[in-house]
């Protein structure tokens, strides 16, 4: 099992490193003259616009936040943007991105992070991980975002975080989820870097008996619903379908 896990971590590291390198080496001809290649957004990128449920999710400060909605609402990007902005604004911040299995991260939300959020690197490096340290995005100001599977309990339980994000939370158990809550304990010189340490989870709507719904119904978790109209890729500011939305 350890050999398989190590191989999965190495594969994740190589893939993410290649994605970052591809962004950094984008041909200069695709970049407007007033923007450097390292700062340029990816081709066909949609400007980050907050509205509706995504605005509520970005601004949320509760300890547990469930962001729910069908595919394409922009909920995952919104949460990733929040983590990224906190890392920039609070030097030394510790964030974490999680799925049930680490090997599923690279082809899912980390692709969104690489191609839509960090836009060519912005001075961010990726460390592929080792037996003693998890894979992570490292910021020049000392902030970092670790990338872990909840199946790797040894690396997960040692983390100290300010904010966590579980992508596709319907894949994980309530025990997995609750195991992350005690990790919201990161401090520097005895003080929190952000006042509202919290955990985000996103998912497509689950059945009423699912534990995520039960936590929301009990008031343990704030539920925020998103819809396609919240995504500027599909609806413009006037509420009309964009070309992509009409396709």
Euclidean distance between CA atoms 23 and 84, whole angstroms: 17
Band (81; pLDDT cuts 50, 70, 90):
very high
The predicted structure's pLDDT at residue 133: 86
The predicted structure's pLDDT at residue 140: 95
Q: Which whole number is the average pLDDT over 51-71?
A: 97
Identify the H or E element spanning 137.
strand 136-138
Euclidean distance between CA atoms 82 and 76, whole angstroms: 10
Backbone angles phi, psi at 40, to 5 degrees: -70, 140
Helix, strand or coil, per DSSP, at residue 205:
coil
Q: How close are the terminal C-alpha atoms of the chain, in Å?
A: 44
Q: Which whole number is the average pLDDT over 83-88?
A: 96
Asked if residues 20 and 126 have their Cβ atoms less than 8 Å apart, the reply is yes
Band (6; pLDDT cuts 50, 70, 90):
very low
pLDDT at 219 over 80: yes
Asked if residues 199 and 230 have their Cβ atoms less than 8 Å apart, the reply is no
Neighbours of 14 (CB within 10 A): 12
The predicted structure's pLDDT at residue 167: 97
The predicted structure's pLDDT at residue 12: 55
Where is pLDDT greater, at 120 or 229? 229
Residue-averaged pLDDT of the chain: 84
pLDDT at 69 over 70: yes
Asked if residues 167 and 118 have their Cβ atoms less than 8 Å apart, the reply is no
Euclidean distance between CA atoms 115 and 41, whole angstroms: 8
């Amino acid at each position: 099992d350890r050999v398989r896990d190590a191989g999965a971590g190495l594969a994740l590291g190589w893939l993410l490193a290649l994605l970052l390198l591809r962004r950094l080496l984008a041909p200069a001809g695709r970049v407007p003259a007033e923007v450097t290649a390292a700062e340029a957004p990816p081709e066909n990128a949609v400007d980050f616009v907050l509205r509706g449920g995504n605005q509520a999710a970005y601004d949320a400060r509760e300890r547990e936040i469930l962001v729910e909605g069908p595919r394409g609402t922009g909920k995952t990007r919104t949460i990733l943007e929040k983590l990224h902005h906190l890392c920039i604004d609070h030097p030394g911040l510790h964030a974490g991105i999680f799925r049930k299995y680490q090997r599923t991260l690279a082809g899912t939300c980390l692709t969104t992070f690489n191609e839509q959020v960090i836009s060519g690197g912005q001075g961010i490096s990726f460390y592929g991980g080792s037996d003693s340290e998890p894979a992570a995005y490292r910021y020049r100001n000392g902030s970092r975002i670790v990338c872990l599977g909840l199946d790797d309990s040894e690396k997960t339980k040692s983390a100290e975080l300010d904010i966590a994000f579980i992508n596709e939370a319907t894949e994980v158990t309530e025990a997995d989820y609750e195991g992350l809550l005690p990790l919201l304990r990161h401090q520097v010189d005895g003080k929190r870097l952000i006042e509202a340490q919290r955990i985000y989870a996103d998912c497509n709507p689950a059945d009423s008996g699912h534990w995520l719904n039960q936590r929301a119904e009990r008031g343990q978790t704030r539920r925020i619903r998103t819809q396609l109209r919240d995504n500027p890729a599909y609806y413009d500011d006037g509420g009309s379908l964009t070309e992509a939305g009409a396709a």
